[in-house]
Amino acid sequence: MEENTLDLLSSLPDEILGRIISFLPSESALQTSFLSTRWASLWNTVLVQHGTTEAAVTAISEFLTHFDELNPLRQPRRLQYHFGKGSANILLATIAANNKLHMELSTGKQEFQKQFDWQLGLNHQSLTDQPSSSSFFVKTLFLKSVGFQSKEAVSSIVSNFQFLESLKIIECNGLQTLEIDSSPRLKSLTIFDCPQLKSLFIRSLKLRSFRYRGLLPRLLTENHFNLKDAMLDFRQGPCDNSFGSNDFDPSLLTIKNAEILTLCKWTFEFYRLKELWWIDNSSEGYNSDALISFLKLCPALEQLFVTVDTKSYSMPITTTYSKKVARHSKLEHLKVVKLVGFTNEEDELLLAVHLTKLAVKELLIIATADGICLRSLVKVHLYQPKLNQTHVKYTHNYKFVEENGDINELCVNHAHMGL
């Protein structure tokens, strides 16, 4: 008997499919978009509107108000709003699961972006003062490619998100100065790849996660907040040549108690932390002195990740780092080390040996140059020369051997890797 392969479920009308999806949790409901092109088309329906820059606020507000989490296909979850002269500017808003909203701006032209300053104020009003008929509240917001012509509209839109807890700003070309005045609800702030950003001012009371990638701007904070998760990926270097060591001081107060930290060697300072991703440079030959000195001041460190990136910014060496540190000379809690990107195996082995001497416990040290072939550090017996030999080549009592098993399960990546 021939098997019946007819997909009866997909042949149902849109209204019935939408009703079926409404009974699923939001994450599971979105996964139905991968079943077939028929299901994908249900989720990818776009509402297209044209209007003025000023009317963009109303358009987004109505778009969110009409969205029903209990019946997510009743209205489109994507809005394409054209505004500005000749409707050249486009705002694409997409509603995602777990109260997420993605907003991407484009001008339709590849011309140079005009430089601008941006003051972004988040909602400070009491929640009881802002009733809403919508069942959807934005808690996580992604802003991409905000520019000079769209900043005012975006600021007005964002000011209405009274439940916002997480904000991510990426690829805003032309942005020179950014001032964020947030409500106590904001717990997470991410700023990635804004190449012209030179000044960043953050006014926040409860921020617990701050992730930044790009040139190091002049960072100012009005309030003291203790970050648990801090990513300071400044491998591109400072925003200008006049940047002094004191300009980095405001960052120290915010990250000194971080438990998860990403830090570049050239901004070297010391902190108390449990997980460290250290991004290094080997353009002039690898030197681990700064890292070793730093680690001696990290008594709570449990996991260490060292990445050698040949493209990372390298500050001219003007000082030396002492290996004799009076406080916390041993790492009592260090368990796992992962070395990535070393092109010289001797440098890799020397660093591994240094780390074994610093640690109290036996370490699991994993190394990989290509991200695929994994090797672990093991002890080997020293060569014992015969009595009549006068010249003996020095050999380490450690070596790296390839691992056939999935050793990566014992050494998961740092929380900031892969972002």
CA distance 391 to 411: 40
State the CB neighbour count (10 A cutoff) for residue 274: 15
The band of 369, judged by pLDDT with boundaries at 50, 70 and 90, is confident
Point out the least confidently predicted range of 81-90, 105-114, 121-130.
121-130
Residue 319 has pLDDT above 70, yes or no: no
pLDDT given for residue 406 in this prediction: 62
Span 197-213, pLDDT tens digits: 999 999 888 899 999 99
Does residue 40 sit in helix, strand or coil?
A: helix
CA distance 382 to 394: 9
CA distance 369 to 342: 6
Span 268-283, pLDDT tens digits: 545 557 899 999 887 6
Q: How many CA atoms, within 13 angstroms, populate the side-chain half-sphere of residue 335?
A: 8
pTM score of the predicted model: 0.67
Angle between helices 151-158 and 56-66 (to 10 degrees): 40
Q: For the chain, what percent of residues have pLDDT higher than 90?
A: 22
Residues with Cβ within 8 Å of residue 367, at least 6 apart in sequence? 338, 339, 340, 342, 348, 352, 374, 375, 376, 377, 400
The residue that leads in pLDDT, 227 or 282, is 227
Q: How far apart are the first and last CA of the chain?
A: 51
Point out the least confidently predicted range of 100-114, 223-237, 337-351.
100-114
Residue 295 has pLDDT above 90, yes or no: no
Residue 149 has pLDDT above 70, yes or no: yes
CA distance 181 to 244: 26
Mean pLDDT for the chain? Answer: 78
Closest CA to 301 of 230, 376, 358: 358
The residue that leads in pLDDT, 138 or 264, is 138
Residue 133 has pLDDT above 80, yes or no: no
Point out the least confidently predicted range of 13-22, 165-174, 388-397.
388-397
Residue 243 has pLDDT above 90, yes or no: no
pLDDT given for residue 392 in this prediction: 47
The residue that leads in pLDDT, 395 or 410, is 410
The band of 226, judged by pLDDT with boundaries at 50, 70 and 90, is confident
Residue 85: φ, ψ to 5°: -65, 120
pLDDT given for residue 245 in this prediction: 55
Closest CA to 167 of 193, 192, 147, 186: 186
The CA-CA-CA angle for residues 77, 192, 152, to 5°, reads: 60
Residue 40 has pLDDT above 50, yes or no: yes
State the CB neighbour count (10 A cutoff) for residue 161: 22
Point out the least confidently predicted range of 68-77, 236-245, 386-395.
386-395
The band of 221, judged by pLDDT with boundaries at 50, 70 and 90, is confident
pLDDT given for residue 248 in this prediction: 66
pLDDT given for residue 21 in this prediction: 59
CA distance 239 to 76: 42
